[in-house]
Structure 1
Amino acid sequence: MTLKTVAAALVLVSIPALSFAMCSEREHQAQSCASGMIWDSVTQSCVAQTSS
């Protein structure tokens, strides 16, 4: 019975860590820039919008 208890405890402890690790890859966060600026994902900052 001790082995089952240890195994169950290990599973219950590891679930939050695994779920956090799976969700940490998603970086969908709203970014707002000032008027005339757009978000540049390469530099991770607001840059002046150029007309094309």
Structure 2
Amino acid sequence: MKLKMTLAAFILGALPGMALAGGCGWHKDVTANACAEGQVYDSDSGSCITPTTS
């Protein structure tokens, strides 16, 4: 009985840490598909930009 309680306490204590390891999921991921027409995805800034022509 004591072993079962110890294992249950360990598992319940480890669950929040495992959830955080998976990522919070609160941030938005911008991809090239989300860019408006005429814009391109810039991987350095992580956002859509209007390309400059020279």
Q: Percent identity?
A: 33
**Long gaps (5+) in structure 1:** none
Specify which structure has the higher proportion of strand. Answer: 1
- Aligned residue-pair number: 48
Query: TM-score, structure 2 length as denominator?
Result: 0.50
Runs of 5+ consecutive residues of structure 2 not aligned to the other structure: none
Cα-to-partner distance string for 1:1-52 (whole Å, 9 max, x where unaligned)? 334302222113313421430x22xx8835412211112121112112368x
Larger RCO, structure (CA 8 Å, separation 6 or more)? 2
Structure 1 ranges of 4+ moved more than 2 A? 1-4, 27-31
Q: SS where residue 48 of structure 2 aligns?
A: strand
